[in-house]
């Protein structure tokens, strides 16, 4: 049989999380962000769950084409815009909305010969200092964009640097001061903005990580009260048992030394599967539905767990690395990273399954019942 590790994707969790976003921002339309192949979940796998989105936002043109080929007819936003004339040809043929953040992109639009003008979102650098026009240059860029034959409409966009810790006013006040007399749909809120800053919801919100059940802060308990569900479950099994005596060590580098007799379970999962190598002793793991801890250093293909809380566990016992019992942020935070890095880093060698929706499951049960009756 194949190695007993599986990632299970739950489109119904994404559908549920999208519904929560709509409740939190009831007056806004929703760009569902599916960049990085839907944060590692797979665009095609989660596509049915996006039906209630008003638009889809992503980075890569090939992903935009994939979404159109799946049948998506509503807006698609290129979050970093276009980089060369050929990109505009694809944006034109697939009717994409284009983020514009620099004069060079305006130059490309000025030189373009399109079948139809494009909608754009003009980005302001209100303090993130990555992409966008500085506030003092924004109105001039806006006026130029509106004058271009290749542009149908100009939306107004920015991005918060630290909406996850509550400090957005310094950026929001700059944005509002510059745009107060500018018509155009506004989009400001990322996942943290959706959760904690209703003042910034505006016309469009852009949830990303919360659609997949992870915390924008990287801290699991920060989203505990919102009812978000995990869209990815990484599971494996115990493939070996060791009983070690006090003072014995476990794994490479001998980083863990037992202070009492311990039963140790060896799990078929390692950093080559996408589990963080720097996860320390104490990182939570669920064995047979019981929470326990990682012990020792994570290897390429295996990790080891303390079986003290689950004495009945043995070879073959299922293990959840992250999902509903152990939130992905609970693994990421002690590892010095964030949950969406772990989801994006899921290795290609890990088999992926898609959980059936409730409707599909009910239909399968009904068909089975009919077969038995027949």
Yes or no: say if 41 and 9 are a contact pair by the CB < 8 Å rule.
yes
pLDDT at 159 over 90: yes
The mean pLDDT value of the chain amounts to 94
pTM across the whole model: 0.92
Which superfamily, per CATH, for 232-354? Lyase, Ornithine Decarboxylase; Chain A, domain 1 (2.40.37.10)
pLDDT of res. 165: 79
Tell me the angle at which helices 61-69 and 85-93 cross, rounded to the nearest 10 degrees: 20
pLDDT at 367 over 70: no
> What residue segments make up the domains of the chain, in order of their start?
11-223, 232-354
pLDDT of res. 358: 56
Averaged pLDDT, 163-188: 92
The pLDDT-based confidence of 324 (bands split at 50, 70, 90) is very high
* Count of helices and strands (H, E) across the chain: 12, 18
- What residues act catalytically? 35, 252
For 68-123, the pLDDT digits (tens) are 999 999 999 999 999 999 999 999 999 999 999 999 999 999 999 999 999 999 99
Through-space distance between the first and last CA atoms of the chain, rounded to whole angstroms? 34
pLDDT of res. 360: 43
Burial class (CB in 10 A: 0-12, 13-18, 19+), 350: middle
pLDDT at 348 over 70: yes
pLDDT at 364 over 70: no
Averaged pLDDT, 275-287: 97
pLDDT of res. 166: 74
Top CATH class of 11-223 equals alpha beta
Neighbours of 152 (CB within 10 A): 13
pLDDT at 373 over 50: no
What are the backbone dihedrals phi and psi of residue 286, each rounded to the nearest 5 degrees, phi first? -110, 120
The pLDDT-based confidence of 146 (bands split at 50, 70, 90) is very high
Best CA proximity match to 321, nearest among 353, 361, 276, 358 = 276
The pLDDT-based confidence of 356 (bands split at 50, 70, 90) is confident
């Amino acid at each position: 049989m194949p190695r007993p590790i599986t990632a299970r994707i739950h489109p119904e969790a994404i559908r549920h999380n999208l519904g929560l976003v709509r409740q939190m921002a009831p007056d806004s339309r929703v760009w569902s962000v599916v960049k990085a192949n839907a944060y590692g979940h797979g665009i095609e796998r989660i596509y049915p769950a996006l039906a209630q989105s008003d638009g889809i936002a992503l980075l890569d043109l090939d992903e935009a084409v994939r979404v159109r080929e799946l049948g998506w007819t509503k807006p698609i936003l290129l979050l970093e815009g276009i980089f060369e004339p050929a990109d505009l040809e694809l944006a034109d043929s697939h009717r994409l909305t284009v983020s514009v953040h620099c004069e060079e992109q305006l130059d490309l639009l000025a030189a373009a010969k399109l079948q139809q003008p494009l909608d754009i979102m003009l980005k302001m650098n209100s303090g993130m200092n990555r992409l966008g026009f500085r506030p003092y240059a924004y109105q001039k860029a806006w006026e130029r964009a509106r004058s271009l034959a290749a542009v149908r409409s100009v939306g107004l966009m920015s991005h918060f640097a630290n909406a996850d810790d509550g400090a957005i006013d310094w950026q929001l006040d700059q944005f509002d001061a510059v745009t107060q007399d500018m018509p155009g749909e506004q989009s400001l809120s990322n996942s943290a903005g959706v959760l904690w800053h209703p003042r910034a919801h505006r016309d469009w919100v852009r949830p990303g990580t919360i659609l997949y059940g992870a915390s924008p802060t990287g801290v699991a308990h920060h989203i505990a009260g919102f009812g978000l569900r995990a869209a990815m479950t990484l599971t494996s099994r115990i493939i070996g048992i060791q009983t070690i005596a006090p003072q014995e060590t476990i794994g490479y580098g001998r980083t863990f030394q037992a202070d009492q007799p311990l039963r140790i379970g060896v799990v078929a999962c390692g950093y080559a599967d996408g589990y963080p190598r720097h996860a320390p002793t104490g990182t939570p793991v669920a064995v047979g539905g019981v929470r326990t801890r990682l012990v020792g250093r994570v290897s390429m293909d295996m990790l080891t767990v303390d079986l003290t809380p689950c004495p009945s566990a043995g070879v073959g016992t299922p293990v959840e690395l992250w999902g509903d019992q152990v939130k992905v942020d609970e693994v990421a935070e002690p590892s010095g990273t964030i949950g969406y890095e772990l989801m994006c880093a899921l290795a290609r060698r890990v088999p992926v399954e898609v959980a059936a929706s409730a409707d599909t499951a009910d239909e399968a049960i009904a068909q089975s019942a009919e077969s038995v009756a027949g």
